[in-house]
Structure 1
Amino acid sequence: MEKRFNKRDFVYILSCILFIAFSLWFELNNYGKAFPEQTIKFDVDRRESRGIAEQFLGKLNIGLSDYHHAIAFDYNKASKVFIEKEVGIEESGDLLNKEFRIWHWSNRWFKSLSKEEVRVDVTPAGEITLFEHIIPEEASSPSLPIDKARKLTHTFLRDILK
């Protein structure tokens, strides 16, 4: 039982093809405006971000040999939503990628069953945006005189963070 296409079938198929073509054109022209994530330029990938973070921690003399490593790509959600609402989605793309650096590779080193943890966030451009070293509250540390603490702080800011 063969059935031939009639004129109505051809019109329906043609209208579907035109609709698909228009939808594709519309998405290609507007996707970047609606989703600034699409405009992220990855100069540093997952593996390279770990190397940058380890190099930074090496300058701080933090050994990572007994630690497990985890990495994830993340962003500051509250900042993204705030900027998009304040300046609009179209203009937020440049701000989010260049000015505010909310996108980052989150590198985390931890020990099993321990509160101690080290975290370093690296932007897709290779800049460090966060360093956090969590130690147990009961861990002891030597007391520092205020002058020595200031000197260590200045050395850290001048030599490590450059």
Structure 2
Amino acid sequence: MSDDDMPIEDQWYRRDLPVLREVARQAAASGEVINAATFRMAQVADTDAAGVDAALRWLEESRYIGVRRGPTRANGQATVWGVDLLERGRRTVGIWPSQQEPVDRLIEAFRQAEANTSDDDDRSTLRRVAGYLAALPRDIVAEVLASAVT
């Protein structure tokens, strides 16, 4: 098998996702991520500064992060002044609710109400409603919830 036929090494789990998680940790701790944090990102992702730059570039192109750049260095790379974690990045690392989360909470609320009521008819109705909601596609229930709230 030639090198051209070999699978390309995974970059998402090995490099990009660990960098994204470190961006999220730093943003949560200080409100922003600055260039000085590149060393920590390189340690977490087990790569070098060039690997971190590549990960930041891919994450930016895929709209997980926004990068604020400064002047271009002698080597042609722009200085990274800051990194903003965007909605897609927040959802990926789990610090922003997914579309399914409110639906799951609604279903759980109906199940809790069922467990906490003593009326058999109410308990049966609550169980059925939770079952109906659980049987529907989550995105449909999420759209209904969103339109009801807004």
TM-score, with structure 1 as normaliser? 0.23
The answer to which structure, 1 or 2, has the higher relative contact order (CA under 8 A, 6+ apart) is: 1
Name the larger-Rg structure. 1
Structure with the larger helix share = 2
TM-score, with structure 2 as normaliser? 0.24
